[in-house]
Chains A and B, each alone.
Chain A
Amino acid sequence: MMFKISPENWAFLIEFAWLCAKAAGLLGFVSLSVMFLIWWERKVSAHIQSRLGPMRVGWHGCLQTIADTIKLLLKENIVAKDTDKVSFWLAPLVSFVAAFLPFAAIPFAKNLVVQDFGLGLLYIFAVSSLGVIGVFMAGWGSGNKYSLLGAMRASAQIISYEIPLVLSVLSIVMLTGSLNMTKIVEAQGQVWFAFSQPIAFLIYFISALAETNRAPFDISEAESELVAGFHTEYSGMKFSMFFLAEYTNMFVVSAIAATLFLGGWQGPFLPGIFWFLAKVYFLIFLMMWIRWTFPRFRVDQLMNFAWKFLVPLAFLNILATALFLVLKK
């Protein structure tokens, strides 16, 4: 029996193929961007510490990451005896997929977005909440106390800081009345939300640092206490998948910050994509700067800071925003 394919089914199939092509293009962009960011981080850290950083491979070591990737690909695949095979193998994949999925709703420029969801912001928070599962799987699957402790720390931190993160974003949603990323960008034609909502921006940025497990919130992989945290047992390609996920996460939180608070793609003269990428990479540079200049928080300080300072402050900010909206009416 033959199936007849009607025109609308053809349209569906073409749209499906087009979506796949967009996703593949995005994947290529993300990999290139991560390669650049790893080199950039090494250079930034080196110059902050009065060193040179990688200098040998390419101009100022710009091809160093490619050489490192080839080395990681060729490494022996080491799997310790007590690992839980399923969790151990799937964990890097889950981490990376959770880091990559939010890209679908991030507008890179006007009309340059994979899928312009009405519920874009909610989608981003929903899919990025899956990242914790990958951390758990890695920590538990490694069958190693350091990994387990690292995973517990990382996930406790991610869960705690997710609350002020979402609360700070809520005030932006209240001001625009929409969860659509494009609409939120367009609402900032006059003034960026970073200026009209400075407290929300600060709360978001601090929580984002903690969400990505970056210093000063990197107790989850504190070298002096935990070897390397939840990815202690990983090597070769699986290790580089975690690295890829970490830098992709940095890009995602900075892209959300640029979209929600810094006016997204909007800017004078130059094309939108340039402004968007400039804002994103500036925020990532800020994250690197903070990482290499501040010491690490202690565990109890970290939790106290989230629950006793950031969460109440975020609630107050929401209250103030609501009052402002009511009085304006």
Chain B
Amino acid sequence: MWSNFLSASIFYLIAIVGIIFAILSVTLKNMFHSALALIVMLLGVAVVYIYLDAEFLALVQILIYVGAIMTLVIFAIMLTAEIYNKNIKRHNQQKLISLIIASSMAGFLIFVLSRFKAQAGVSFFEPLTLAMIGKELLTKYVLPFELISIILLAALVGSAAISKKE
């Protein structure tokens, strides 16, 4: 009873914090504050991974999303001209489209996950060792792995080419 209550309340606490900061990150008026709210939200996702015993995923989430991607986002914000001008109003002209996309994505996920039934006797959260992940990545999933690397490289070269023109 107590441990069920404890674990459920921990989960809901993380979820509520995550949702609050997700909403804040799209509604706050200040771009920099939005980025900070997004960081808290991403850390919340990492905590959910820890809650599900996926420590590796949680650490990679922090390393890549908070350490790398959000740092780049903040860099982009700070390089914006007139960042200190307090009169700039943030407006969002794509509210309708983003609402449609977000809600259809959420509907799709709810549809799939509600139909998903774990097979009896197969643990969904089998403890994955790092060695297993590495082996799978370099044997079974080597093609998607390499494809993603090439896409990232292309994005890197592309952004360098675009910024050089100016």
Contact = CB atoms under 8 A, between A and B. Distances in A.
Say which size band chain B's interface belongs to.
20 to 34
Given A5-B2, A9-B2, A140-B78, A123 B59 contact: yes
A130 B2 contact: no
Interface in A114-156: 117-119, 122-123, 125-127, 129-130, 132-133, 136-137, 139-140, 143, 148, 151-152, 155-156
B3 to A, nearest CB: 6
A126 B63 contact: yes
Contacts of A156: 75
B71 A4 contact: no
A3 B62 contact: no
B32 A126 contact: no
Contact of B62 (A117, A127, A148): A127
B78 A148 contact: yes
Contacts of B39: 133
Task: Specify which of B2, B71, B130 lies most central, judged by the most chain A CB atoms within 10 Å of its CB.
Answer: B71
Contact of B70 (A4, A125, A133): A133
Contact of B59 (A6, A84, A126): A126
A86 interface: yes
Given A3-B1, A9-B2, A143-B84, A119 B67 contact: no
Nearest to B6: A9
Interface in B1-30: 1-3, 5-6, 30
Interface string A68-92: 0000000000000010101100000
Interface string A1-35: 00111101100000000000000000000000000
B78 A126 contact: no
Given A6-B2, A119-B55, A159 B71 contact: yes
B102 to A, nearest CB: 26
Contacts of B71: 129, 132-133, 136, 155, 159
B74 to A, nearest CB: 5
Task: Specify which of B5, B33, B68, B84 lies most central, judged by the most chain A CB atoms within 10 Å of its CB.
Answer: B84
A4 B2 contact: yes
Nearest to A151: B78
A223 B122 CA distance: 62
B62 A126 contact: yes
Given A6-B2, A9-B3, A136 B78 contact: yes
B61 to A, nearest CB: 8
Interface residues of A, number: 34
A161 B60 CA distance: 19
Given A152-B78, A155-B75, A129 B62 contact: yes
A122 B1 contact: no
Contacts of B1: 3-4
Nearest to B39: A133
A119 B32 contact: no
A3 B2 contact: yes
Contact of B32 (A8, A87, A123, A159): A87
B47 interface: no
Nearest to A148: B78
B41 interface: no
8 contacts: A84-B30, A87-B36, A119-B59, A129-B62, A129-B63, A133-B66, A133-B70, A136-B71
Given A6-B2, A82-B84, A139-B78, 14 more contacts: A87-B33, A87-B36, A126-B62, A129-B62, A133-B66, A133-B71, A133-B74, A140-B78, A140-B83, A148-B78, A151-B78, A152-B78, A155-B75, A159-B71
Interface of B: 1-3, 5-6, 30, 32-33, 36, 39, 55-56, 59-60, 62-63, 66-68, 70-71, 74-75, 78-79, 83-84, 130
Interface of A: 3-6, 8-9, 82, 84, 86-87, 117-119, 122-123, 125-127, 129-130, 132-133, 136-137, 139-140, 143, 148, 151-152, 155-156, 159, 179
